[in-house]
């Protein structure tokens, strides 16, 4: 997605620069700048979302250690910080679990991550007690 949006933005920038040399056309310039803003927003939203998808985790009973797709450094959160866990659903049905913390940070745990269902069940049991 990054390459697609980046390539589209690069092509649009080249066309915009070529259009400036041919003569000013405010409508084309406006839509070109608007498109560049859309491309930047799409790339930023992808980076933001990848920083919230858990790719690997370790659970020791009191602390959740995890890595996300966007950040490879391990992060630690005590279980007391978890506000709730619920199913994460997309247009095609359930995708995994949403973990929301007391500070409103959200993390997404996909079913494809090994032992995701077991972790969600253990965390729900811990939160229920």
Q: Alpha-carbon Rg of the chain, whole angstroms?
A: 21
> Which tens digits make up the pLDDT trace of 72-95?
899 999 988 999 999 999 888 999
HEC profile of 80-116? HHEEEEEEEEECCEEEEEEEEECCCCEEEEECCCCCH
Ordered mean pLDDT values, 10 residues apiece, the chain (129 residues): 73 68 67 81 89 91 89 90 90 91 93 89 80
Using CA atoms, how far apart are residues 72 and 9, in angstroms rounded to an integer? Answer: 27
Three-state DSSP at 64 gives strand
């Amino acid at each position: 997605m990054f390459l697609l949006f980046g390539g589209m933005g690069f092509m649009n920038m080249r066309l915009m620069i070529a259009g400036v040399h041919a003569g000013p056309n405010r409508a084309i310039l406006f839509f070109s700048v608007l498109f560049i803003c859309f491309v930047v927003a799409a790339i930023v939203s992808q980076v933001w979302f990848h920083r919230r998808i858990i790719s690997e985790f370790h659970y020791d009973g009191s602390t959740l250690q995890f890595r996300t797709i966007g950040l490879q450094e391990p992060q630690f959160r005590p279980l007391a910080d978890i506000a709730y866990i619920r199913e994460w659903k997309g247009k095609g049905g359930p995708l995994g679990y949403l973990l929301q913390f007391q500070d409103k940070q959200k993390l997404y745990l996909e079913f494809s991550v090994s032992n995701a269902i077991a972790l969600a069940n253990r965390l729900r049991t811990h939160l229920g007690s």
